[in-house]
Structure 1
Amino acid sequence: MARDLPPRARFDVRSRRAARVILTVALVGVLAACSPSDPEATPTPTTTITDGVPTPSATPTTPAEPTLVPDGTAEDNLPLFSSVTAAVWATDARVTGRAYIDALTAAGFDKAAMQVTQDQSTVGNPAESIQFSVHWNDQCLIGQVGPATGDPVTVVVPVLAEGNCLVGQTRPIDW
């Protein structure tokens, strides 16, 4: 196609193509310079020497384990609730409601504020999912686990009108 054009037009076509290539390369270079080279990189500790004594000037930090926030909201305590749920899910007791209640109690949640559904159906088959909850002020921390659920699910929702967290009949927590 460029051969059919007069020499001046061929030059314009070539120069426009060259300009596009140069702009594209420049744009890619700018974008590459703006993006992090390793998003997973952690800061490397460095050491400075003050008065002949080496002193670390930066230390890598690890995320703190979630803890109970007694004066906090349900949202404040969701990280701990989720962590406990995931820890129990990783054990052989993963489909046992009592295991979640016991682990949440051990983490500091009030057993009297909890509800849990049955581990078995009315005909004795293992439940497809188990729900458990902690009533926290005007909200509920709710967890759901089981073969039908896949990965554990934890959420914060408002308390139901009846003052409970779970709908329907729940299992007595009498242990």
Structure 2
Amino acid sequence: MARDLPPRARFEARHRPVAAAIAATLLAAALTACAPEAVPDPSSSPTVTATTAQPSPSPTPTSPPGPTFVPDGAAADNLPLFSSVTAAVWASEGRVAGRAYVDALAAAGFDKAAMQVTDDETTVGNPAESIQFAVRWGDECLVGQVGPATGDPVTVVVPVLAEGTCLVGQTRPIDW
């Protein structure tokens, strides 16, 4: 009788019991997974197992500390912090406000009296295409530049200008 069937039908007839067994196993597994957990009998006494915490075999990695202010260091020693503060302000809502950079650098430990910053707006009231800010550090300057025309923030250490300043041209007073 099985020889009278076409090849596909013979294959299905031969493997139907296997397919049914697999389906039944999967159904049982699915139902077991959905079954509620057994509720302990309230009349039975609970079993208490004492465990002690074991120290981990190796220390848990922690993130390295961020750059820090080095008051007795050189300008180059403080460039990582200057760059980090600049990047943080650039990523904030105050990214195009020179005051935001001055305030953040002062909060990080840089001397506000040693800072310079350019205007946020052009002489006709348009937003500046770039803002520069600087901190004089001895005979050197930490200088930052940000803005739509700059792309990513730029920070460098350069020598103090002959005039004793860090930025060329007119800067705005830092009177806040």
Considering the TM-score relative to the shorter chain, is it more than 0.5? yes
Q: TM-score, normalised by structure 2?
A: 0.67
What is the CA distance between 1:73 and its match in structure 2?
A: 0.5
In 2, distance between residues paired with 1:165 and 1:56?
Answer: 52
Aligned pair 1:149/2:150, yes or no?
A: yes
Amino acid across the alignment from 1:119: D
What is the CA distance between 1:63 and its match in structure 2?
A: 2.0
In 2, distance between residues paired with 1:54 and 1:116?
Answer: 52
Counterpart in 2 of 1:63? 64
What is the CA distance between 1:64 and its match in structure 2?
A: 1.3
Aligned pair 1:134/2:135, yes or no?
A: yes
**Aligned-CA RMSD value:** 1.5
Paired residues, number: 124
Superimposed CA distance per residue, residues 25-52 of structure 1 (whole angstroms, 9 cap, x where no aligned partner): xxxxxxxxxxxxxxxxxxxxxxxxxxxx
Equivalent residue of 1:91, what SS?
A: coil
Counterpart in 1 of 2:26? none
What is the CA distance between 1:67 and its match in structure 2?
A: 0.9
Q: How does 1:70-85 map to 2 (within 5 A)?
A: 70-85=71-86
Aligned pair 1:87/2:88, yes or no?
A: yes
Structure 2 unaligned runs (5+)? 1-53
Larger Rg: 2
Superimposed CA distance per residue, residues 81-113 of structure 1 (whole angstroms, 9 cap, x where no aligned partner): 000000000011100000000000000100000
Identical-residue share of aligned pairs (%) = 80
Q: How does 1:16-165 map to 2 (within 5 A)?
A: 54=55, 56-165=57-166
Equivalent residue of 1:141, what SS?
A: strand
In 2, distance between residues paired with 1:149 and 1:113?
Answer: 24
The verdict on how the C-alpha distance between 1:54 and 1:73 changes in structure 2, with shifts beyond 3 A counting, is same
What is the CA distance between 1:56 and its match in structure 2?
A: 3.8
Structure 1 unaligned runs (5+)? 1-52
Q: TM-score, normalised by structure 1?
A: 0.67
Amino acid across the alignment from 2:126: N
In 1, distance between residues paired with 2:57 and 2:129?
Answer: 53
Amino acid across the alignment from 1:80: L
What is the CA distance between 1:156 and its match in structure 2?
A: 0.4
Equivalent residue of 1:151, what SS?
A: strand
